[in-house]
Chain A
Amino acid sequence: SQKIEQNSEALNIQEGKTATLTCNYTNYSPAYLQWYRQDPGRGPVFLLLIRENEKEKRKERLKVTFDTTLKQSLFHITASQPADSATYLCAALGTGANNLFFGTGTRLTVIP
């Protein structure tokens, strides 16, 4: 069955370093991947969408890559700050145009 996996449940990094989060997908080839941020007690907030032919996309300190050979997306936060501490979710479409599958998320903690 189609699967989205975020292998790291939690990641701690020092302020100022680059955080790299991984999202792997199996048993299908999504045309788009999306990344969201979720803070405790809140709903997810959309960050970036990358298409399979884009390879890389940037927004301020955020960068997302999409490697269709490795079936993987990497999400980078450069010059990380304590305010970046949150859970980050990746998502990709399953069967049908509205069936968005989410990974279980990686909880990032940026240590001052």
Chain B
Amino acid sequence: NAGVTQTPKFQVLKTGQSMTLQCAQDMNHNSMYWYRQDPGMGLRLIYYSASEGTTDKGEVPNGYNVSRLNKREFSLRLESAAPSQTSVYFCASSEYTANNSPLHFGNGTRLTVT
């Protein structure tokens, strides 16, 4: 089992460019999440999807959009990248809600916006 797979692993963008971060899980989990991790800030939730067909904003959603394409896949889109979006992005999934289900994380996408 691959678990949670994120692509790409690294990306450099210029300010104003757009890109989509891809995430897929093979554990048949219902919930999926996008976090960003910055030094001194910890992991912050951008968006989540409690089940196929639903998405909700987390703590820091501005500048991002998401799509829950099917039960396996949850993508994160930056429409017009800004230097403040330089970060490491983690996708995660859980069988049920994060309330009592552990999260399974991918190994991250390291994004630099110049």
Contacts and interface: CB of A to CB of B under 8 A. Distances in A.
B107 interface: yes
- What class of interface size applies to chain A in its complex with B? 20 to 34
Contact of A97 (B4, B58, B59, B98): B98
A43 B50 contact: no
A43 B92 contact: yes
B58 A99 contact: yes
A3 to B, nearest CB: 11
Interface in A48-95: 49, 51, 89, 91, 93-94
Residue from B35, B102, B104 having most chain A Cβ neighbours under 10 A? B102
B45 A99 contact: yes
B66 to A, nearest CB: 13
A104 interface: yes
Given A97-B50, A100-B98, A41 B43 contact: no
Contacts of B107: 41-43
A3 B33 CA distance: 20
B42 interface: yes
B40 interface: yes
A102 B43 contact: yes
B99 A32 contact: yes
Interface in A13-54: 31-32, 34, 36, 41-46, 49, 51
B89 to A, nearest CB: 10
Interface of B: 4, 31, 33, 35, 40-45, 48, 50, 56, 58-59, 90, 92, 97-100, 102-108
Interface of A: 4, 31-32, 34, 36, 41-46, 49, 51, 89, 91, 93-94, 96-105
Given A41-B108, A94-B59, A100-B33, 9 more contacts: A41-B107, A43-B92, A43-B105, A43-B106, A43-B107, A49-B100, A89-B43, A96-B56, A103-B42
